Amino acid sequence: MGHTIMDRMTFARASVARARPWWAAVRLGWAIESNWTDPFVFMTYQIVRPLFGALILVVMFKVVAGRLVGETMFAQIYVGNAFFIFVVQMIGGLGLVVIEDRERYEMIRYVYLSPLGLGTYLVARAAGRFAATMVSILVTLAVGTWLFGISYNLTLAQVPQFIAILILGMVAALALGIMLAGATLVLAHHGWSMPDGVTGVLYLFCGVVFSIDILPAPLVAIGRILPWTWWLEGLRRALLGSPFIKSLAGATDGQVLLWLVVTTGMMVLLAGAVLRGAERLAVATGKLDQRTDH
């Protein structure tokens, strides 16, 4: 009995010791993402910025397009744009972590040599941005109901699948952010602009504000292998009860979830391979802590 209690205490102490560097990385990520400012000020900015982005979208489709966009399509566009905020934030945040730690703080070598490891450190750094972005999404969805009368039809029976879809898409976004961070390790000068470029490509190919069916056939095929196409489709079906992409209308909700699982798994495996390969190449070529801001 005594040995069992001692073993549990030892395990608890070891768990706390392992969690301490993780928690330190989370706190560091929050401090950097908030620019070392007051949490209330930072959260206000995190809410106002995407909210006004959504309002711009409203002006485009409600005022400019007018009758060309029906209420159902507008709701689908609004929901897609709201959740795509998460992809933008993950890519933009993690894609620049390496640059900040290497060029500005000159700490990347110590992160690489730490027991935490670069991959786990990147995930921990994303935690603060994750929390802030979720608040932004919830506020944007609430404003959609309050100002524009968008109703969400999520039933209790759909909640488990909705949560599974939501988590899978977030994991895919996190994986892509890690992949971009790995690529930045070996890039010379273009790391700053890469997240914006990738975000623009995904905005085009994943059906954020228009169906991918209007694209040429080869580009539609690209859109279908990206997890966020299936992610947004699944979220729209769960919240609004109708498909957005007509060519995917024949797919059941279970098939949408299955394709999301497959494409997310591929993204996670690819991200791990890219990060490991980039780490080895950066160390071998002396680029791990090489400054490129000249």
Region of poorest pLDDT, from 26-35, 102-111, 125-134? 26-35
pLDDT tens-digit map of 116-173: 788 888 888 888 778 778 888 888 888 888 877 888 988 888 899 999 999 999 999 9
More confident residue, 171 or 99: 171
pLDDT average, residue stretch 5-32: 63
| Local confidence band at 11 (pLDDT 50, 70, 90 cut-offs) | very low
Distance CA 154, CA 212 (A): 25
Average pLDDT, the chain: 82
Q: Is the pLDDT of residue 10 over 60?
A: no
Q: Specify the pLDDT at position 103.
A: 79
pLDDT at res. 165: 96
pLDDT in tens, 206-245: 998 888 999 998 999 999 999 999 999 999 999 998 889 9
From the CB of residue 32, how many other CB atoms can be counted at a distance below 10 Å?
Answer: 19
H-only helix segments in 206-252: 217-224, 227-240
Q: What is the C-alpha to C-alpha distance for residues 190 and 181, in angstroms, rounded to an integer?
A: 12
Rg over CA atoms, the chain: 21
Instruction: Report pLDDT for 149.
Output: 82
| Entry pTM | 0.85
pLDDT band at 85 (very low <50, low <70, confident <90, very high): confident
The CA distance from 54 to 82, in Å, is 7
The share of the chain scoring above pLDDT 90, in percent, equals: 29
pLDDT exceeds cutoff 70 at 91 = yes
